[in-house]
Protein backbone atom coordinates (compact mmCIF):
# COMPACT_ATOMS: atom_id res chain seq x y z
CA UNK A 1 0.00 0.00 0.00
CA UNK A 2 2.74 2.48 0.93
CA UNK A 3 5.48 0.84 -1.14
CA UNK A 4 4.91 2.96 -4.22
CA UNK A 5 4.39 6.24 -2.36
CA UNK A 6 7.24 7.29 -0.03
CA UNK A 7 5.46 10.54 0.94
CA UNK A 8 2.42 8.58 2.10
CA UNK A 9 4.69 6.19 4.03
CA UNK A 10 6.17 9.18 5.86
CA UNK A 11 2.75 10.68 6.53
CA UNK A 12 1.14 7.48 7.83
CA UNK A 13 4.02 5.61 9.46
CA UNK A 14 6.84 8.02 10.34
CA UNK A 15 5.35 11.44 11.11
CA UNK A 16 3.13 10.11 13.92
CA UNK A 17 6.16 8.52 15.63
CA UNK A 18 8.26 11.66 15.33
CA UNK A 19 5.40 13.88 16.51
CA UNK A 20 4.53 11.68 19.48
CA UNK A 21 7.99 10.59 20.63
CA UNK A 22 10.53 13.20 19.44
CA UNK A 23 9.06 16.68 19.01
CA UNK A 24 8.57 17.48 22.68
CA UNK A 25 12.36 17.86 22.98
CA UNK A 26 13.58 18.12 19.37
CA UNK A 27 11.70 21.13 18.04
CA UNK A 28 12.66 24.57 16.76
CA UNK A 29 12.47 26.12 20.24
CA UNK A 30 14.35 23.51 22.28
CA UNK A 31 16.55 21.63 19.78
CA UNK A 32 17.86 19.16 22.37
CA UNK A 33 21.18 17.83 21.11
CA UNK A 34 21.18 20.62 18.52
CA UNK A 35 18.53 19.00 16.34
CA UNK A 36 14.90 19.65 15.45
CA UNK A 37 12.66 16.96 13.98
CA UNK A 38 10.43 19.57 12.39
CA UNK A 39 12.41 19.75 9.16
CA UNK A 40 14.48 17.39 7.05
CA UNK A 41 17.49 19.72 6.76
CA UNK A 42 17.96 19.74 10.53
CA UNK A 43 17.75 15.94 10.69
CA UNK A 44 20.19 15.53 7.79
CA UNK A 45 22.64 18.00 9.34
CA UNK A 46 22.16 16.48 12.77
CA UNK A 47 23.43 17.71 16.06
CA UNK A 48 26.33 17.01 18.34
CA UNK A 49 26.58 13.38 17.14
CA UNK A 50 26.47 14.17 13.43
CA UNK A 51 23.64 13.41 10.99
CA UNK A 52 20.60 11.82 12.60
CA UNK A 53 19.75 10.12 9.32
CA UNK A 54 21.67 9.18 6.22
CA UNK A 55 19.05 8.57 3.52
CA UNK A 56 19.26 5.07 2.11
CA UNK A 57 21.76 4.00 4.80
CA UNK A 58 20.10 2.98 8.05
CA UNK A 59 23.36 1.49 9.34
CA UNK A 60 24.96 4.97 9.25
CA UNK A 61 21.99 6.78 10.83
CA UNK A 62 22.61 7.85 14.42
CA UNK A 63 18.87 8.07 15.07
CA UNK A 64 18.53 4.31 14.68
CA UNK A 65 21.46 3.54 16.95
CA UNK A 66 19.99 5.85 19.60
CA UNK A 67 16.44 4.42 19.43
CA UNK A 68 17.85 0.89 19.57
CA UNK A 69 19.65 1.93 22.79
CA UNK A 70 23.03 0.99 21.25
CA UNK A 71 24.77 4.30 21.99
CA UNK A 72 25.54 6.34 25.07
CA UNK A 73 22.53 8.46 24.10
CA UNK A 74 19.32 6.44 24.35
CA UNK A 75 16.24 7.96 22.78
CA UNK A 76 13.58 8.53 23.70
CA UNK A 77 14.45 8.64 27.39
CA UNK A 78 12.40 6.33 29.55
CA UNK A 79 10.43 3.78 27.57
CA UNK A 80 12.06 2.63 24.31
CA UNK A 81 10.11 2.65 21.08
CA UNK A 82 8.28 -0.58 20.26
CA UNK A 83 10.04 -2.80 17.69
CA UNK A 84 7.30 -2.01 15.16
CA UNK A 85 8.11 1.71 15.31
CA UNK A 86 11.87 1.09 15.12
CA UNK A 87 11.29 -1.00 11.99
CA UNK A 88 9.07 1.74 10.46
CA UNK A 89 11.82 4.33 10.97
CA UNK A 90 14.45 1.93 9.63
CA UNK A 91 12.39 1.24 6.51
CA UNK A 92 11.78 4.96 6.01
CA UNK A 93 15.52 5.68 6.06
CA UNK A 94 16.18 2.68 3.81
CA UNK A 95 13.69 4.15 1.30
CA UNK A 96 15.53 7.47 1.21
CA UNK A 97 13.91 9.32 4.13
CA UNK A 98 11.37 11.24 2.08
CA UNK A 99 9.95 14.06 4.23
CA UNK A 100 6.51 15.59 4.62
CA UNK A 101 4.35 17.40 7.11
CA UNK A 102 4.62 16.65 10.83
CA UNK A 103 1.98 17.63 13.33
CA UNK A 104 0.72 21.21 13.04
CA UNK A 105 3.60 22.31 10.83
Specify if 1 maps to a domain.
no
Domain coverage including residue 19 = 6-94
**Does residue 76 sit within a domain?**
yes
pTM score above 0.85: yes
d(CA 34, CA 25): 10
In a domain? residue 105: no
pLDDT tens across 32-53, in order?
778 889 989 999 998 888 899 9
pLDDT in tens, 2-33: 667 889 999 999 999 999 999 988 988 887 77
User: In the 8-state DSSP scheme, what is residue 92?
Assistant: H
> Is 43 inside any structural domain?
yes
Residue 56 lies in a domain: yes
Query: Would you give the DSSP letter of residue 34?
Result: G
* pLDDT of amino acid 90: 97
Asked if residue 26 is part of any domain, the answer here is: yes
Q: What does residue 50 show for φ and ψ, rounded to 5 degrees?
A: 90, -165
Q: Answer yes or no: is 13 within a domain.
A: yes
Q: pLDDT confidence of 75, banded at 50, 70, 90?
A: very high
How many folded domains does the chain comprise?
Answer: 1
Q: What is the pLDDT of residue 102?
A: 83
Instruction: Tell me, yes or no, whether 100 lies in a domain.
Output: no
Amino acid sequence: MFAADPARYFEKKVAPILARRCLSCHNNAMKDGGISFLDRDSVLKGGSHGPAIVPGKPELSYLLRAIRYKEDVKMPPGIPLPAKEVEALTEWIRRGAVWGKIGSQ
